[in-house]
Structure 1
């Protein structure tokens, strides 16, 4: 089977592409820059998409810009239908129809475009990745406190989402399939505590309220799934691995280490 992956060089695209190739699929990664294993095309303009989709059976649409996903998805669909693509798989986010956030509304618009396209499809919604939660904490390494958010979250390992996408690529189009999430739902403050323990820091944690409808939806857990989730890796396991990577990086730089996270 020939598969085209959009967003194949991103955080989710890389492990997904690796798993697809390991499963024996011929994989093309859509990119604006030519290279080995790549198909040249631009989702923002539609340029090159027709050629990139020639002979493609399945498309995994993982690309995201955070601001123009619906426009890019429209260009992809316009090229995929005449190319005879038999299965389009789209990665979305749990709660896009519940949480009043601009990015979520754009993802929901993409879902609606795909559903109306006439192309056989599968839509998978996942909760936020562990990396997303960690990204709240990493930039604060020089602050005297660690600022958290007064909401719930259910992070999942990106590799586990890649596993599920690879399974779906080998299956028939199924419409919207069951949402997937991590193995635990906690207040973000608890994830902050876990992060500090893993990285050996002991700063005060300030809980920052998230205002408006978005805050209410996230405190209710509208962006989470029921437990037990699909994922197996806990945030503590992720944070411990991240701290170990920091120790290795410090050793390579000849650093004496320290108690601050990356």
Structure 2
């Protein structure tokens, strides 16, 4: 039995990683800001973080905050892991973080470099965006009379449970460095995915393709966030929404 710490273990991905590892009989500690006994703000570090990593063999780092602080959180976690003699750290990242000039992507790429240079055994997995994120995006856009989708932007969403399965496998294996990306089964335009969501939600809204500007938009339009040769996911966006409607939570 392996002792594993999952940061962000109450989140969309971390919760499923935790469930999978526990189902396999491993001892899993869940670290999040508000969940005892390991209620720790990674950005602050401190004695609580040292207690969380003490005796841990592997850390799966799922915690992230698009509003900022990920780099400091990673520095604190990596320092604590070194002090505790952790043998393996697994980090979840995003396809295209080295190609899309978006602030959050740059931060994720910077954390990748911190992990690589940490002196720990490490594994980094990049995936495409989760179905859940698109569903949340479209739910927000549908609050308006017209759903505005960035024109010409493709996406390749993946089921979060499939990502959790892969992360659990990597956590139980030896450090592997940067492993091949993991992507969803289909590449679809955002406006077509928006129409799928509207039909599933029973909402009637026109979808308007809106051209945007800037380097990040150009990178998304050219598919810098896609991995067509790694389309290993099985669950489509339609199937994800059907599962949600049956109460399966997208799992």
- Output the TM-score relative to the length of structure 1: 0.89
Residue 210 of structure 1: how far off its partner (Å): 3.2
Number of the residue aligned with 2:58: 58
Q: Distance in 1 between matches of 2:163 and 2:89?
A: 16
Checking the alignment, whether the CA contact within 8 Å between 2:154 and 2:221 is kept in structure 1 is yes
Residue 204 of structure 1: how far off its partner (Å): 1.3
Number of the residue aligned with 1:191: 193
Number of the residue aligned with 2:167: 165
Query: What SS does the aligned partner of 1:77 have?
Result: helix
Q: More deviation in 77-86 or 39-48? A: 39-48
Q: Distance in 2 between matches of 1:200 and 1:49?
A: 45
Residue 34 of structure 1: how far off its partner (Å): 5.1
Number of the residue aligned with 2:238: 236
Residue 227 of structure 1: how far off its partner (Å): 4.0
The 5 A counterparts of 1:1-262 are 1-33=2-34, 35=36, 38-47=37-46, 48-66=48-66, 67-150=68-151, 151-227=153-229, 229-245=231-247
Instruction: Provide Cα deviations, 1:133-162, integer angstroms capped at 9, x if missing partner.
Output: 112210233422222222111100111110
Query: What SS does the aligned partner of 1:12 have?
Result: helix
Q: Distance in 2 between matches of 1:193 and 1:30?
A: 37
Q: Distance in 1 between matches of 2:11 and 2:33?
A: 13
Q: Distance in 1 between matches of 2:131 and 2:176?
A: 27
RMSD across aligned positions (CA) = 1.6
Query: What SS does the aligned partner of 2:113 have?
Result: helix
Query: What SS does the aligned partner of 1:217 have?
Result: helix
Query: What SS does the aligned partner of 2:112 have?
Result: helix
Number of the residue aligned with 1:256: none
Structure 1, unpaired ranges of 5+: 247-262
Q: Distance in 1 between matches of 2:211 and 2:135?
A: 18
Query: What SS does the aligned partner of 1:125 have?
Result: strand
Residue 228 of structure 1: how far off its partner (Å): 5.5
Q: Distance in 1 between matches of 2:181 and 2:82?
A: 26
Q: Distance in 2 between matches of 1:75 and 1:87?
A: 16
Checking the alignment, whether the CA contact within 8 Å between 2:14 and 2:62 is kept in structure 1 is yes
Residue 69 of structure 1: how far off its partner (Å): 0.6
Residue 7 of structure 1: how far off its partner (Å): 0.4
Residue 23 of structure 1: how far off its partner (Å): 1.1
Structure 2, unpaired ranges of 5+: none
From the superposition, tell whether residues 19 and 175 of structure 1 become closer, same or farther in structure 2 (CA, over 3 Å). same
From the superposition, tell whether residues 204 and 42 of structure 1 become closer, same or farther in structure 2 (CA, over 3 Å). closer
